[in-house]
Structure 1
Amino acid sequence: MKRPVQTPDGYGPVQIALHWAIAGMVLLQLLLSGPIQVAFDARMDGGAPIHGFLGGALATAHLVVGSSILVLAVWRLALRLTRGAPPASMPAPRVIVLIGKVAHLLLYGFIFLMPVTGLVAWFFQSDLAAGLHGWLRWPFILLVVGHGVGALVEHMVFRNRTLERMLRAGPPEDG
């Protein structure tokens, strides 16, 4: 018989570690976007995609980090589907809770879609995927900033545990 998804009081240490690892890697990707764009353009023009040691290392790092984000995102989603997620912290107006749910759904979409479009662009030399990847960058940045601001607002204005739950593991399950 299939085990039902739990609704824990907080996130487990692995869920928290994955959240912050993905967040840090997404920020790193923003810093590494220039060299990969240069390398992609050169590759599409039929030239050597990697120019110089530093440019090549940074472009390669962008590919490796993007692939790692995708792997960690799969792990994170699997944990969320099997372990569950805590309910929204209260007090918070219903509209805030709804915005949070929509934002999380979009964040999960972006942490899958960005690596997939980037990898398709690179390995299949797809201008379409590259264009989509580049275009999605700005809405993703706005969503990430909004996510951070939202967590701070919930913490400082509504004085609930939303931010604390992503900084400290909840009781007592480890996952």
Structure 2
Amino acid sequence: MSAPRSSYSRVAITLHWLIALLIIGNFVGGLLMEDLLKPDATAAQKQLGFTIVQLHKSFGLTVLVLSLARLALRLTAGAPPLPAHMTSIERLLAKVTHVGFYAIMILVPLSGWVMVSASPLGFPTMYFGLFEWPHLPVATSAAISGAASEAHEVMAFIGVGLFVLHVGGALKHHFLDRDDVLARMLPFLRKTAA
């Protein structure tokens, strides 16, 4: 890993916000599609639910690819150093949150891909209607698909907890600590002195 940077690159900032928006949208879509695919749903609701499922899978795979690119960038370009005033507990929380986010951004889409690949239903994944995304070479098994589905959901909610911690930390840095941590990802913010 190279020496830490003094600020994030435009590519890193773009990936951060793009992935964040995709994840928030996909989380909402995941909650919505469950209601639309209930057994008592109308045919129109089920059709809308199927469309949302395909979009959910497409956006999830996009998150996976972009997250791998972002991780590669982070490992090669480094990240700005944490402010010197942070306590050891705050530094640990920041590290755990960032490592947790990378794990969630990669493992949630992967678990969804395993779920779909192992499903006995065998529905294809049409990537934004452009082409069929291949299934992973896993056994067709309701048990495997079910376990992947459970992991997918649990990790998504863990991601929500990390999101709350991340946003809370960023706001603390900006409004209480008055440092430039938030401004690193929102360059239009005026950097304040500590």
- TM-score bin (small chain): 0.7 to 0.9
Residues in 2 aligned to 1:100 and 1:61: alpha-carbon distance in whole angstroms: 32
- Kept in 1: contact 2:37–2:46 (CA 8 A): no
Q: 1:106 to 1:40 in 2, by over 3 A?
A: farther
For the residue of structure 2 that corresponds to 1:21, the secondary structure is: helix
Q: 1:101 aligns with which of 95, 99, 107?
A: 95
Q: 2:74 aligns with which of 49, 74, 80?
A: 80
Aligned to 1:115: 109
For the residue of structure 2 that corresponds to 1:90, the secondary structure is: coil
Aligned to 2:28: 31
For the residue of structure 1 that corresponds to 2:8, the secondary structure is: coil
The structure with higher relative contact order (CA 8 Å, sep 6+) is 1
Cα deviations by residue, 1:1-21 (Å, 9 ceiling, x for unpaired): xxx613110000000000001
Percent identity, please: 32
Q: 2:187 aligns with which of 158, 161, 168?
A: 168
Amino acid in the other structure paired with 1:32 = G
For the residue of structure 1 that corresponds to 2:2, the secondary structure is: coil
Q: How far has the Cα of 1:109 moved from its partner? A: 0.6
Q: Which runs of 5+ in 1 are unaligned?
A: 43-49, 170-175
Q: 1:147 to 1:29 in 2, by over 3 A?
A: same
Residues in 2 aligned to 1:41 and 1:110: alpha-carbon distance in whole angstroms: 27
Aligned to 1:21: 18
- Kept in 2: contact 1:70–1:112 (CA 8 A): yes
Q: Which runs of 5+ in 2 are unaligned?
A: 40-44, 120-144, 189-194
Q: How far has the Cα of 1:90 moved from its partner? A: 3.5
Query: Does 2:172 correspond to 1:153?
Result: yes
Amino acid in the other structure paired with 1:88 = L
Q: How far has the Cα of 1:159 moved from its partner? A: 1.1
Q: How far has the Cα of 1:123 moved from its partner? A: 1.9
- Kept in 2: contact 1:91–1:159 (CA 8 A): no
Q: 1:141 aligns with which of 160, 171, 190?
A: 160
For the residue of structure 1 that corresponds to 2:177, the secondary structure is: coil
Residues in 2 aligned to 1:159 and 1:149: alpha-carbon distance in whole angstroms: 14
Aligned to 1:51: 46
- Kept in 1: contact 2:115–2:146 (CA 8 A): yes
TM-score with structure 2 setting the length: 0.75
Residues in 1 aligned to 2:97 and 2:109: alpha-carbon distance in whole angstroms: 19
Q: 1:96 to 1:66 in 2, by over 3 A?
A: same
Q: Give the aligned CA root-mean-square deviation in angstroms.
A: 2.1
- Kept in 2: contact 1:92–1:154 (CA 8 A): no
Cα deviations by residue, 1:59-112 (Å, 9 ceiling, x for unpaired): 111000000000000110111111111110233222212211111011111101
Q: Aligned residues, how many?
A: 158
